[in-house]
Amino acid sequence: MADIVIREVAPDLWTFSRPFALFGRIHLGGRSTAVKLSSGDVFVVASTPLSPETKETLDGLGPVKYIIGINSRHNMFLGEFKRAYPDAKLLAPAAVARFVDDKTLTFDGMWGRDAPETRYGFEEEIEACYFSEYLNKDVVFFHRASKTMITADLITNLPGIEQYSKSDAPGSRFPFYGPLGKPSGWLQSKMLASRVRDPEVMKVAAKTVAEWDWDRLIMAHGDVIESGGKQTWLEAFKAYL
């Protein structure tokens, strides 16, 4: 039985949630996210494998136009997505080039390399903000139509109950989590602070996200916050706001 949970969380907005254990031991869960644009093209944050179920769903949505590596570390599956969708634009932070295993990949755009005002074609519906001073060089996205923010490692909401709902792995029962895994918990505050190089530049990016009109929060690791996500973000990032 496939361990992936595929869900339309809002019109034209899909999540692909499955188990993932960092270093094979720390059960964080993983998630890809896809948006069907008004043009019919598909924008996909590719953070989990392109399983047969994932590909079938994406192909049913429309042609994949954008493949997104959302930060420097979420790069493991970019190659298989690009091989399946060779005509799609491959976009990621410039730091991905140092970490990605498939050195043959050619990127059509890179945050941190391209001029800040560069537009890649999806900006009428999805806005991006690059966190250049965060260790993993995350990019966050705001899907206007569904009032949803999509992020990777800047914030988590553990345990990932949905991500482990079809698995026998202990992800949703991992004793380390509880309050420690929540976005505004002291552990995440300490981890966030340790990963920020320049707090003043970080404040600019955090303020940009805080000014967007969004409610739902989709993270790579942990359960989606369907409502009240922005308030959760504001609390977690209060040191930078």
Query: Where along the chain do its domains lie?
Result: 5-240
- Contact between 3 and 18 under an 8 Å Cβ cutoff? The reply is yes
Residue 143 has pLDDT above 60, yes or no: yes
Place of tokens 């298989």: 80
**Burial of 185 (C-beta count, 10 Å sphere; 0-12/13-18/19+):** middle
- Residue 167: Cβ within 10 Å count: 18
CB atoms within 10 A of CB 88: 21
Please compute Rg for the chain using Cα positions: 17
Phi, psi of 25 (to 5 degrees): -130, -35
What's the rounded Cα separation, in Å, for the pair 38 and 124?
10
Report whether pLDDT(139) > 90.
yes
Q: What is the mean pLDDT of residues 111-136?
A: 97
- Amino acid identity for residue 157 in this structure: N
Instruction: Assign a CATH topology to domain 5-240.
Output: Metallo-beta-lactamase; Chain A (3.60.15)
Residue with more model confidence, 182 or 178: 182
pLDDT at 209 over 70: yes
How many Å apart are CA 55 and CA 206, to the nearest integer? Answer: 33
Predicted pLDDT of residue 173: 55
Element of type H or E holding 77: none
Strand 64-68 relative to strand 42-45, pairing: parallel
Task: Look up residue 171 and give its two tokens.
Answer: 């992800």
**Which of 129, 120, 147 shows the shortest CA–CA distance to 43?**
120
- Give the confidence band of 111 by pLDDT, cuts at 50, 70, 90: very high
Residue located via tokens 């990605």: 100
pLDDT attached to residue 172: 54
Average pLDDT over residues 210-235: 96
> Rounded distance, CA 90 to CA 30, Å?
20
